[in-house]
Structure 1
Amino acid sequence: MTDTQYEPAHTGLLLMDPYNDFLSEGGKLWPLVEEVATEVGLLDNLRAVVAVARAAGIQVFVVPHRRWREGNFANWNFLTADQAGGNENRVFEDGAWGGDWHPDFAPQENDVVVHEHWGQSGFANTDLDLQLKKHGITHVVTVGMLANTCIESTSRYAMELGYHVTLVRGATAAWTREMLHAAHDLNGPSYAHAIVSSDEIVTAFKGAQF
């Protein structure tokens, strides 16, 4: 367990891409992550981490991917395979069920909903850094989807900007076990200051003081 102190006034929980398409049965991407997500207890772990963060007075930042809208990528020169596939399949479609929040992770009144990111980094072309600085955040804890793409890219960028970064096993998933292993065991130690289990971060948050 990390000996990091998560002071509520300076800690932010980054909840990445909590859409129905990712997290709900019937979502367009759920079949791709269901096996790994079920194995690690993703939904229950996310519920526990988000709930205890709010109870401890830790600011929740919802960091959403760009919703599908007609013409999103018109005149773009270089789409990634994921962007092209998402565009073709209308993943996270604006105004549709798949592009709505999973009901257990919908933003609450005091949450900060960051501008939508186009690629993998929650910082690129958004107001995330501004919002973190406005709220006095020095420590970020990233949870949500996916471990080896948006979680990793956002967390790496947070480190580059000088934030203390914590990754949480069990509160994220990936298409495959190998991708999840790479995110936490191979790549994570190169940029994250702490890599903990969901139970460990819940315990740490419970011990945090207002």
Structure 2
Amino acid sequence: MTELEIDADSTAVLITDPQIDFLKPESVVWDKVGETVEENAVVDKIRRLRDAAREGDVPVFYSPHEYEDAEYDSWEHLNTIDQIMFDTRMFDIAGDGADFVPELEPDDNTFVLSPHKQLSGFWSNDAQIQLRQRGIDTIVLAGMSANLCVESHLRDAVENGFEVLTVTDATAAAGEEALQAALTNYGFIAHETAETDDVVERLAAAE
């Protein structure tokens, strides 16, 4: 697998769903994701990636999930993960679940994309246009959750011509089987996979 060049002029860190409803015990689905979030120390690893990106002058993009009352009340044709999120009111903009976790509050090096309503932000939010308008062609990808939003962002980024390095230990899922399935797919789809320790060094040196 080729090691991608991390260049501050053309690389961005893309973090999916760095929000309470995936990453903190008060999450409405903590019973599903909490064990692997804690085992992988996901919040700390995302924080390290963000801080290293700032040091290397690499921009960070957040692709968050968010829903409003009208969507919970009126949406039809829900798939399984939609149904789980709607039954629990996951990412409810009226509550705390859609808030960014305190350790990952956006800073002046962070661009917050419009909320994605399905698993990928490359067609249900403004991920592609915001990246392209800033000359980005290489993405360092991490966040939640491994086999859902991270994998969907990965697939769509690659399909749209971006090169993607997926950070394999800065994510988690609803159980070990789901996590391992995602890691297997990353190995086939991403241009490179690497762990946080390696990526942090490369991001910090990008400038």
Alpha-carbon distance in structure 1 between the residues aligned to 2:41 and 2:126: 31
Aligned residue for 1:87? 86
Taking structure 1 as the reference length, the TM-score comes to 0.92
Q: Give the Cα separation in 2 of the matches to 1:190 and 1:137.
A: 22
Unaligned runs of 5+ residues in structure 1 are none
What is the letter of the counterpart of residue 34 of structure 2?
A: E
* Matched residue, 1:15: 15
Distance 2:44 2:116 in 1: 26
Equivalent residue for 2:35?
35
Residue-pair matches, total: 207
Distance 2:75 2:153 in 1: 22
Which runs of 5 or more residues in structure 2 are unaligned?
none
Q: Is the 8 A contact 2:54 2:109 kept in 1?
A: no
Give yes or no for the alignment of 1:96 onto 2:95.
Answer: yes
Q: Which residue of 2 aligns with 1:202?
A: 200
Partners in 1 of 2:110 and 2:44 — Cα distance? Answer: 20
Give CA-to-partner distance per residue, 1:179-205, whole Å, 9 cap, x none: 1111112x1122100010111111211
Equivalent residues in 2 for 1:27-176 (5 A)? 27-65=27-65, 67-176=66-175
The residue that corresponds to 2:186 in the other structure is 188
Give the partner amino acid of 1:207. A
Q: Which amino acid aligns with 2:51?
A: A
| 8 Å CA contact 2:9, 2:135 repeated in 1 | yes
Query: CA shift at 1:73, angstroms?
Result: 4.9
**Is the 1:121–1:153 contact (alpha carbons within 8 Å) kept by the matching residues of 2?**
yes
TM-score, normalised to structure 2, is 0.94
**Root-mean-square deviation over aligned CA pairs:** 1.6
